[in-house]
Amino acid sequence: MGRVVIWALHGFLGDGEDWAFLRRPMGQLGLTIVSPSLFAADADGVNAALRIDPAGESIEQWADRFVQVVRDCDSAPILAGYSLGGRLALQSLIRHPEVFRAAMIVSAGLGIGEALEREKRRASDGEWALRFEGDRWTELLNDWNSQPLLRHSVAFERVESAFDRRRLAAALRAWSPAVQMPLASHLPHLENAVLWVAGERDETYANIAISAARSMVSASLWICPDSGHRVLGEQPGLLAERLGKFLKEAVIE
């Protein structure tokens, strides 16, 4: 087996270092982790190449750009994505399935099909975008982490100077589930090995993962014990262990 790289995409208000817990266990398997920071205030290399355009770009446009960067670096990479990063990973996989050996999707949705729900989510994300452009950072983080989906999860520390607020706001507007076309109908056509992960206390996303895994040709499912939405922060050791098992079965020869 030659060089195998896991391209790991973080969630909204996330950072490439959110995946740092994988470096040692994956390194022991001979795998390299590349985890770009999509909202970094200052960036070079792959971080600069993959940051969202602050003027806005569609999730499909970004996925195509991401895949081109990946193609230039690796011949048969593995994808990993959490939450927003999971939706970015799915877009990339659906649009370019031939590029990737396998994928792990953690706590990710598949878009919103019902028109009224799409409009409600679009309005909500638009309001959050305005707040990320101008509100005081401490108050903003407190309110963000108090949302029902996140309030019982362990929060990563987020320092304002690490982020470009324009890019965060652009992601809320251009990458909202309300803007993204629903993805569920594409899943049965994918033949890639995919591990779906969700926390056992995150009922909504656990149900999405169960349904998605059942609809696919080569999917596995793992519901992480004692975890809510933020599986990366709440159960990093268990997640690394389960990913290693999946990759040994699906990829590593």
> So what's the pLDDT on residue 62?
97
Q: 31-34 and 4-9: which strand pairing? A: parallel
> So what's the pLDDT on residue 73?
87
Whether 122 is covered by a domain: the verdict is no
Whether 85 is covered by a domain: the verdict is yes
Question: Apex CA 120: angle with CA 117 and CA 125, to 5°?
Answer: 120
145 CB-contact burial (10 Å; exposed 0-12 / middle 13-18 / buried 19+): middle
Give me the residues of the chain with pLDDT under 70, please. Answer: 1-3, 252-253
> So what's the pLDDT on residue 3?
66
Biggest distance spanned by C-alpha atoms of the chain: 50
Whether 56 is covered by a domain: the verdict is yes
> So what's the pLDDT on residue 1?
44
What's the domain count of the chain? 1
- Crossing angle of helices 59-73 and 84-95, in 10° steps, is 70
Whether 161 is covered by a domain: the verdict is no
Neighbours of 9 (CB within 10 A): 28
Secondary structure in 3-state letters for 148-206: CCCCCCCCCCCCHHHECHHHHHHHHHHCCCCCCCCCHHHHHHCCCEEEEEEECCCHHHH
* Cα torsion through 235, 227, 101, 75, rounded to 10: -50
Whether 141 is covered by a domain: the verdict is no
Whether 149 is covered by a domain: the verdict is no
Whether 147 is covered by a domain: the verdict is no
Question: Apex CA 67: angle with CA 179 and CA 94, to 5°?
Answer: 55
> So what's the pLDDT on residue 253?
59
CATH number of domain containing 65: 3.40.50.1820
The structure's pTM equals 0.96
Whether 120 is covered by a domain: the verdict is no
The domain containing residue 188 runs over which residues?
A: 4-114+173-250
